[in-house]
Amino acid sequence: MNSELFFEDKNRVFRVRDLTRLVRQLLEGGLPLMWVKGEISNFTNAASGHWYLSLKDEQAQVRCVMFRNRNQFLDWQPRNGSQVEVLALATLYEARGDFQLTIEQMRPAGLGALYEAFERLKRKLEAEGLFDAARKRALPVYPGRIGLVTSPQAAALRDVLTTLHKRMPAIPVVLYPVPVQGEGAAAKIAQAIAAANRRAECDVLIVCRGGGSIEDLWAFNEEVVARAIAESEIPTISGVGHETDFTISDFVADLRAATPTAAAQAATPDRATLQQRMQQAAQRLVRSQQGQLQRSMQQLDYLQRCLVHPAARAQQQRQHLEHLRQRLSGALAYGVQRQHWRWQTASRRLIAIRPDLATQQQRQAELAVRLRVAAQRLLSQRQERLDTLAQHLSYLDPRQVLARGYSLVQDEQGRVVINSAKLKAGDELNITFARGSARVGVREAGKA
């Protein structure tokens, strides 16, 4: 809208809408983006995510708005009473006719140069890839030694040492003392990180200090510290400031911890959790051993049932021989009876045909004699066979072998010794005789 057209007719009556629109255009077209300094008051965080506030000094105030698409990039939360510097555009909210500033950027007052340096270095290192997640390394699960780069007088050191002692007191800690603020602090921090890598005595390195203002934490925003952390071969944790504080070292380190205490927690496993895991593993091991023992006992019982003692086996053989003798005796008796039946049959046939009685009687007597002789001979043979088997059985009796002068030699594990080449001087042997046993030592072992 051209403002000159409005003023050509001095008698023209403006509508409020036209007037406010004209004023807004004049403000936005006549004033560029500018930095304005003041104190925040009446701060409101609307449900839409937009921020509404007033910016004031000792003599004036102005309404301000910072829309969500702008305030979401701030890593800190404004509060009433905070002194800030805002990059804003002067405008007019036509619905209420209120003059206001539309804020594009906001920073704490007096720290503009530091924030600009912070953002500039952040963009530079990010472009070089120092913030990439792909280059960050995983921390060791069970570090053997932990290094601390901090000030010996810092409260953060006590917090870290206390946390490490509670979580895992057995892990040794190496302190690399450095100043954490002031002139030259950044260079000394970088030198300490480089020294820790040269000495290679730690598995993880914690770079930490407690909270403070941006000036106090500025050593950890220096490029020399960022590059020392990036070049570190030891995985590094950055625990600088409080939870809301962010430094360049946080972005470069392998892990950013919100506080020094959180850094100590991230560097060490929890002893209580490890003890619980060990207890669970021990319980599983005990259950496994018990199960294996029970299976072995069952297998042993099965093998014991299958194993027959030599005496029991000899008893079985004797029972078998007795059974054979009984069968032999029965067979002999049956043979005699059968011959007797045949004799009776023949006698009846002889009587029936009335042969020569004297001749037949003589022949019958001869046959009876032959039968008795044959029966006695057969019985004698079977008896001799039985005696031979009994004698062979006696030969198998270990006690008979020992009675003939032999002995049973066993080593300390109960194994039978049959080869002298396996013996050496000093071995102890157990010798079993027919009567009793003796325990002897080997003085000299001969070749087999």
Residue ranges covered by each domain of the chain: 3-110, 130-269, 310-396, 403-441
User: Which amino acid appears at position 118 of this protein?
Assistant: F
State the Cα–Cα distance between residues 249 and 252, nearest whole angstrom. 5
CATH H-level superfamily of 130-269: Hypothetical protein af1403; domain 2 (3.40.50.10550)
What is the structure's pLDDT at 112?
A: 59
pTM of the model: 0.44
Q: What confidence score (pLDDT) does residue 381 get?
A: 92
Q: Rounded distance, CA 25 to CA 439, Å?
A: 119
Residue 23's pLDDT is 82
CATH number of the domain located at residue range(s) 3-110 in this protein: 2.40.50.140
Going edge to edge, which strands form the sheet with 428-432? 408-410, 428-432, 437-441
Looking at residue 296, what is its pLDDT?
81
| Residue 67: count of CB within 10 angstroms of its CB | 14
Phi, psi angles (nearest 5°) of residue 152 = -65, -25
3-class SS at 313?
helix
C-alpha–C-alpha distance, residues 358 and 59, integer Å: 177
Position 305 scores a pLDDT of 72
DSSP single-letter state for residue 136? P
- CA dihedral for 114, 120, 124, 126, sign (positive or negative): positive
pLDDT score for 110:
63
**Measured between alpha carbons, how far is 238 from 205 in angstroms, rounded to an integer?**
9
Beta strands in 25-182 (DSSP E): 34-45, 51-56, 61-66, 83-93, 98-108, 146-150, 173-177
Tokens of 14: 């403006």
Residues 6+ away with beta carbon under 8 Å from 182? 219
pLDDT digit string (tens) for the chain, length 448 residues: 455 555 555 667 778 888 888 888 887 777 888 899 888 889 999 988 899 999 998 888 999 999 999 888 887 788 888 888 889 988 888 788 788 899 998 887 765 567 778 888 889 988 999 889 888 888 888 898 999 999 998 888 898 999 888 888 888 999 999 998 888 899 999 999 999 999 999 999 999 988 877 778 888 989 999 999 999 999 999 989 887 778 889 999 999 998 898 998 888 887 777 778 888 888 888 888 887 887 787 787 777 777 767 777 788 888 888 888 888 888 888 888 888 888 888 888 877 776 567 777 888 889 999 999 999 999 999 999 998 888 888 777 777 777 777 888 888 888 888 888 788 888 888 988 878 888 888 888 776 5
Residue type at 189 in one-letter notation = I
